[in-house]
Amino acid sequence: MSIEDILQALDDECRTECRDIFHRAEQEAKQIMERAQAEAEAIRRARLEKLEAEARSESISMLYSARLRSKNAVIAAKERIAEEALREAEGRLEKLRERADYRAILEGLVKEGLTRVSGKVVVRVDPADRELADGILREMGLDYDLRDDIGTLGGAVVSDAAERVTIINTVEERLNRAREKLRMQVSKVLFEGDAAVAAGGG
């Protein structure tokens, strides 16, 4: 399997898990919404039966309040599940160095960083990766300065000799990119949910 395939498989694995967890979040959010709507309907009926004129006004106010609470509960649930997904992914990544294919993963991350720099390069890695990275760079026949002065779960930071161009290609950076994508997905679902509430909430 090529390095590109390994990196793609890692990205696909992360995306698949995020989608699965995100789907569970949507189901949980749906249940919260249904319970809140049932509560709102019960409040509305009780108030309407008590005093026709005054209760109607009060029940409308309480209904909107219940809808607001349910909306906030849905938002909180989705954000919580999104954070759980990322924590789970980060937990697995903490054991990345234990994988048999970690050398290939590190090599792929280093090579990705090297695509945007030329000449002598500065490569920063975690002390735990120094020996492995040194072997990879020597095999590539590069003119390089290897430094083990960063703390990371894996990957590397690659710069040109003058350090004007720096490519951060660590595991944490990859996770942050996944976090941003997941946040965008959450926002999209919340926006669509707001539109549905607005359409049916008149």
Domain boundaries, the chain: 3-95+174-200, 101-171
Check pLDDT > 70 for residue 124. yes
Spatial contact of 125 and 131, defined as CB atoms under 8 Å apart: no
The contacts of residue 54 (CB under 8 Å, 6+ apart) are none
- What is the pLDDT averaged over residues 17-43? 75
For residue 176, the model assigns a pLDDT of 84
Q: Is the pTM of this model over 0.95?
A: no
Taking the C-alpha atoms of residue 75 and residue 190, their distance in angstroms, rounded to an integer, is: 7
Residue 97 has pLDDT above 80, yes or no: yes
Q: How far apart are CA 162 and CA 160, in angstroms?
A: 6
Q: What angle do the packed helices 171-200 and 52-93 form, to 10 degrees? A: 160
- Residues 170, 123: Cα–Cα separation, whole Å: 12
CA torsion, ordered 164, 167, 168, 173, to nearest 10 deg: 130
**Residue 119 to residue 144: CA distance in whole angstroms:** 9
Banded model confidence at residue 197, pLDDT cuts 50, 70, 90: very low
For residue 149, give both structure tokens: 């002065």
**101-171: which CATH number, 3.60.60.10, 3.40.50.460, 3.30.2320.30, 3.40.50.2300?**
3.30.2320.30
